[in-house]
Amino acid sequence: MNVPEIFGSDVFNEAVMRERLPKDTYKALKKTIADGLPLDIELANVIANAMKDWACEKGVTHYTHWFQPMTGLTAEKLDSFITPTEEGHVIMEFSGKELIKGESDASSFPSGGLRATFEARGYTAWDPTSYAFIKENTLCIPTAFCSYNGEALDKKTPLLRSMEAINKSSMRILKMFGSNAKRVIANVGAEQEYFLVDRQMYSKRKDLIFTGRSLYGAPAPKGQELEDHYFGTIKTRVAAYMKDVDEQLWRLGIYAKTKHNEVAPSQHELAPIFCTANIAVDHNQLTMEVMKRTARKHGFKCLLHEKPFAGINGSGKHNNWSLSTNTGVNLLDPGKTPAENAQFLLFLMAVIKAVNDYQDVLRASVATAGNDHRLGANEAPPAIISIFLGDELTGILDAIVNEGKYEGKRVEMEIGVDVLPHFPKDTTDRNRTSPFAFTGNKFEFRMPGSRLSVGGPITVINTIVASVLDEFADELERAGNFQVALRSLIKRTIKENSRIIFNGNGYSAEWEKEAEKRGLLNLKSTPKAVPCFCAEKNVRMFSKYGVYSETELRSRVEIILDEYCKTLNIEALTMIDMAKKDILPAAATYIRKLAETAQLAKSIGAEAEFETDLAKRISSLADQTYRKMGDLEEILEKCHKITDVEELANFYHDNVFAAMAELRASADGIESLVGAKYWPYPTYGELLFYVM
C-alpha cells in the first residue's frame, strides 16, 4: 500500500482544486472561504462541474448533501447526476445551485419543536471549509442543516458559530499582546474507543441488535483483571480489520494515526492526528461510519455503545482541544519568553474560569442514556467536573497567588511568572481519572461517550472559553497599565476558581465528598444534567454569541430528554421480550430435564440430590424473574400517563432503570446455573474472548 499516494484520493481537496479549477475560480473560492463569505452562483457552477467530472471519473453516479442532524448521526439523501436529453438519453450534470443549497423535506428528523411538521422543509448549505469527498460511489457535500427561519437543526451550524466566537475573542486578547496573527482556530483530536464482536454471535443477541448493549449477561470467569489486553498484541483478524479501516480513512483524507487494544477484552482505540475542529468532527463521524461498515466485511460487529458490557470498561471518546493561530502558534503551549508565558497563562485562566463557571453545560453536553453508565463508574471520570493541571503548573499558580518563588525547574518571575518550564507530556498526562486534564499543550475532555458526536461538547468548550476571554478583554482594554491589570487579573482568577482544580484521584469516594464541600456540581444522570442548558446564565451566554438561541437550546433539551426516554423504553421492552420469549422458556426446559432425570435416577435408587436441588434453585429464580418482569411491565404502563418530558425522563431514571436492574440480576442468576446448551444466547465469555 502506497500511503502517500492513496491519502486523500477520495477527497476534492486543495490539490485537486488547484489542478481542476480555472485559476480565477480557485483563487476566488479560497478568498470566499478565508473571508467566510457566501459562495457566488457563477463560481459555484464552475466548481460543481469540476467536482462532478472528477467524481464521475472515479465511477461516482450520485451526490448527496451530507449533514449531521440532532440524532448525532449523519444523514444523506442521494440524487443521481442524470439529466434527460431530448433524444431520450441522459447526461451527467451537477449545477452550482445543487452544490450550494439542498432542499430537504426533513420533517422526520428530531427538531424539538423548531420545525412544526406542517412546515417540513429545511435546507442544507455547503460548508466550503470542509472538502467534498467520495463515499460508496457517492459525492458527499458536507453541509449545515437549517430550518427556513435559519434555526440550526444540526450539530454543525452551532459548531461553526462557536468557532467564529472563539476566533473573535481570542483575537481581542492577542491584539493586546501585539500578536500579528489574523485568525485563531480551535483544534480537535478525538480518540475513538470501540468493541468488536463476532457477527454470528451478535446476531443471536436481541439486546445487542435492538439497543447496542447487552441487557443481560452473567460475568465470564475472566474479565479485565489481568490487564493483559491493554496495548496487547492485536489478533490477526482484528489486525486485518484495522488495516482495512486505516486504508479507507486515509483515502478519505483522515489522519488515522494510532491504533491499539484497550483495557477491556475485545476493546480497541483509534486516534487521528488533530485538526481544525469542524473538520475533526466531520472526520470522526466518518470514522465511526467506516468502522461499522468495515466490520461487516470482516465478520465483526463494531459496537460503539458507551457501555456494551457490564463489569468491564465502557467506551469513551477523549476530546483533545487546543487553540492555535493561523501562523501555527499553539496558544496553550507555555512559551519561551516572559510575554509568551503571560499570554499562555491568560488563556489557561480563561479555560479554568470557563470550566468552573459552566460546569453544568459541560456536563450536559455529554449526557446520554448510554454515557450515564460510564460516568462515575470507576472507569471513566466521575459526573463531577474538575480540572487536572499537574503538580508543576499548580505549584506555579500557587506561587503567583502567594507572590512567592516557585521552587520547581527554571522559573524566573516578573509579572508573576517569567519563563515557565516546558511541560513534558509525561509529567502531566498520568491522571486518567480527571474529566478535564491539561496535557502539556492542550486540554483533554474525557467525559464524552464513544458514540457521541464531538460537535456538541466542542461547541460548548469553544463558546464558554470565548465568553470568558471577552470578559478578560473588557477588563484589560479598559486598564491604564496593561502589565499591572494582567497580573491582578491572573492572580484573582486563580484565587476565585481554585475549587475546580483537582489533581488527585477522581474515582475515590473522598473526592465526591470533597467536591461537595467545594460546591462543585455532581449531576449524576442525563435528566438531571440536560435541563441546565436552559439556566438563565447559559441562555444569556449562548445567545450573546449567537451559537444557540433560547429556542434552539430548548429544542435541544427536549430532543435529548426525549431520546433518553425512548432509549430506556426500547431497552425495557427488549428485556421483557427476552425474558418472556427466551430466558424463562430456557429455564423451564432445563428444569424439566432435571426433574425428569431426578425421577429416573430415583427409579434406580439414586438420591438425585444434584438434579433436585438445582431444579429448585432455578425454579425459584425463574419465579423471581417472572415477577420482576411483571413489575417492569407495570412501571412502563405508568410512563404513558406522564406528558412533561423532563418529568418523564426522571421517572424513567428513577423507576424504569431501577426495575431493569432488578430483572437483570435474577435473570443473570439463572444464566449462571443453566446448562450451556440450554442457554439461548452467546455468553459474555464467548462474546468477549472467542474471537481468535
Provide the 10 A C-beta neighbour count for residue 595. 16
Three-state secondary structure call for residue 88:
coil
The residue (of 263 and 673) whose beta carbon lies closer to Mg ion is 263
* 68 touches, from Mg ion, ligand ADP, none (C-beta below 5 to 8 Å by class): none
> Per CB under 6 A, which region of 268-276, 513-521, 522-530, 639-647 contacts ligand ADP?
268-276
Backbone angles phi, psi at 607, to 5 degrees: -75, -35
* 126 touches, from Mg ion, ligand ADP, none (C-beta below 5 to 8 Å by class): none
Which stretch of DSSP H or E encloses residue 592? helix 584-603
Distance CA 167, CA 276 (A): 12
Please give the single-letter amino acid code of residue 331: L
The residue (of 125 and 304) whose beta carbon lies closer to Mg ion is 304
* 187 touches, from Mg ion, ligand ADP, none (C-beta below 5 to 8 Å by class): ligand ADP
Residue nearest to ligand ADP (CB): 189
Backbone angles phi, psi at 379, to 5 degrees: -145, -20
Contact pick of 191, 306, 563, 571 for Mg ion (by CB under 5 A)? 191
Distance CA 405, CA 85 (A): 81
Minimum Å distance from CB 322 to ligand ADP? 3
The residue (of 187 and 356) whose beta carbon lies closer to ligand ADP is 187
Residue closest to 98 by CA, chosen among 135, 124, 69: 124
Question: Does 300 contact ligand ADP by CB under 6 A?
Answer: no
Question: Three cell numbers at 373?
Answer: 453508565
Distance CA 43, CA 32 (A): 10
Question: Does 506 contact ligand ADP by CB under 6 A?
Answer: no
**Helices vs. strands in the chain: H and E counts, helices first:** 26, 18
> Per CB under 6 A, which region of 55-63, 118-126, 131-139, 188-196 contacts ligand ADP?
188-196
Minimum Å distance from CB 680 to ligand ADP? 38
The residue (of 27 and 430) whose beta carbon lies closer to ligand ADP is 430
The residue (of 271 and 348) whose beta carbon lies closer to ligand ADP is 271
Minimum Å distance from CB 462 to ligand ADP? 13
The residue (of 191 and 306) whose beta carbon lies closer to ligand ADP is 191
Contact pick of 9, 61, 330, 498 for ligand ADP (by CB under 6 A)? 330
Distance CA 408, CA 428 (A): 14
Question: Does 246 contact Mg ion by CB under 5 A?
Answer: no
Question: Does 154 contact Mg ion by CB under 5 A?
Answer: no
Three-state secondary structure call for residue 143:
strand
Question: Does 185 contact ligand ADP by CB under 6 A?
Answer: no
Minimum Å distance from CB 258 to ligand ADP? 5
The residue (of 191 and 357) whose beta carbon lies closer to Mg ion is 191
Question: Does 444 contact Mg ion by CB under 5 A?
Answer: no
Touching ligand ADP, residues 59-78 (CB under 6 A): none
Minimum Å distance from CB 213 to Mg ion? 22
How does DSSP assign 330-376, residue by residue?
Answer: BTTS--SSHHHHHHHHHHHHHHHHHHHHTHHHHHHTT--HHHHTTTT
Distance CA 8, CA 133 (A): 9
Minimum Å distance from CB 601 to ligand ADP? 58
> Per CB under 6 A, which region of 67-75, 187-195, 366-374, 546-554 contacts ligand ADP?
187-195
* 74 touches, from Mg ion, ligand ADP, none (C-beta below 5 to 8 Å by class): none
Question: Does 193 contact ligand ADP by CB under 6 A?
Answer: no
Site track for ligand ADP across 428-467, x = CB under 6 A: -x-----------xx-------------------------
Number of residues counted as binding Mg ion (CB under 5 A): 1
Question: Which class for 569: exposed (0-12), middle (13-18), buried (19 or more C-beta within 10 A)?
Answer: middle
Residue closest to 444 by CA, chosen among 558, 509, 351: 351
Beta strands per DSSP E along 377-533: 387-388, 436-438, 443-445
Minimum Å distance from CB 454 to ligand ADP? 11
Is the Cα torsion angle 199, 204, 209, 213 positive or negative in sign? negative
Question: Does 558 contact Mg ion by CB under 5 A?
Answer: no
Question: Does 272 contact ligand ADP by CB under 6 A?
Answer: yes
CA distances from 590 to 6, 124, 549, 625, 642 (A): 56, 57, 59, 15, 41
CA distances from 86 to 90, 224, 430, 483 (A): 9, 67, 69, 75
CA distances from 491 to 345, 417, 581 (A): 10, 11, 65
- HSE at residue 252, side-chain half, CA atoms within 13 A, is 31
> What is the CA angle 77-78-81, rounded to 5?
145
Distance CA 334, CA 319 (A): 20
Which stretch of DSSP H or E encloses residue 65? strand 62-66
> Per CB under 5 A, which region of 66-74, 191-199, 233-241, 522-530 contacts Mg ion?
191-199
The residue (of 137 and 258) whose beta carbon lies closer to ligand ADP is 258
Minimum Å distance from CB 439 to ligand ADP? 7
Contact pick of 98, 127, 191, 558 for ligand ADP (by CB under 6 A)? 191
Question: Does 342 contact ligand ADP by CB under 6 A?
Answer: no
* 625 touches, from ligand ADP, Mg ion, none (C-beta below 5 to 8 Å by class): none
Contact pick of 83, 203, 258, 378 for ligand ADP (by CB under 6 A)? 258
Task: Give the contacts of 184 (CB within 8 A, at least 6 positions apart).
Answer: 166, 167, 170, 171, 174, 323, 324, 325, 326, 331
Minimum Å distance from CB 25 to Mg ion? 41
Minimum Å distance from CB 318 to Mg ion? 7
Distance CA 212, CA 574 (A): 11
The residue (of 206 and 318) whose beta carbon lies closer to ligand ADP is 318
CA distances from 273 to 39, 58, 285, 319 (A): 30, 27, 15, 12
Backbone angles phi, psi at 579, to 5 degrees: -65, -45
Three-state secondary structure call for residue 123:
strand
Pair 366, 457: CB distance under 8 Å: yes
Minimum Å distance from CB 368 to ligand ADP? 22
Distance CA 610, CA 626 (A): 24
Distance CA 294, CA 249 (A): 11
Question: Does 278 contact ligand ADP by CB under 6 A?
Answer: no
Touching ligand ADP, residues 306-325 (CB under 6 A): 318, 320-322
The residue (of 321 and 423) whose beta carbon lies closer to ligand ADP is 321
Alpha carbon 502 to chain centroid, angstroms: 24
The residue (of 388 and 406) whose beta carbon lies closer to Mg ion is 388
Number of residues counted as binding ligand ADP (CB under 6 A): 17
Touching ligand ADP, residues 81-140 (CB under 6 A): none
* 274 touches, from ligand ADP, Mg ion, none (C-beta below 5 to 8 Å by class): ligand ADP
Residues that bind ligand ADP (CB under 6 A): 187-189, 191, 258, 271-274, 318, 320-322, 330, 429, 441-442
Q: Applying CB under 5 A, which residues contact Mg ion?
A: 191
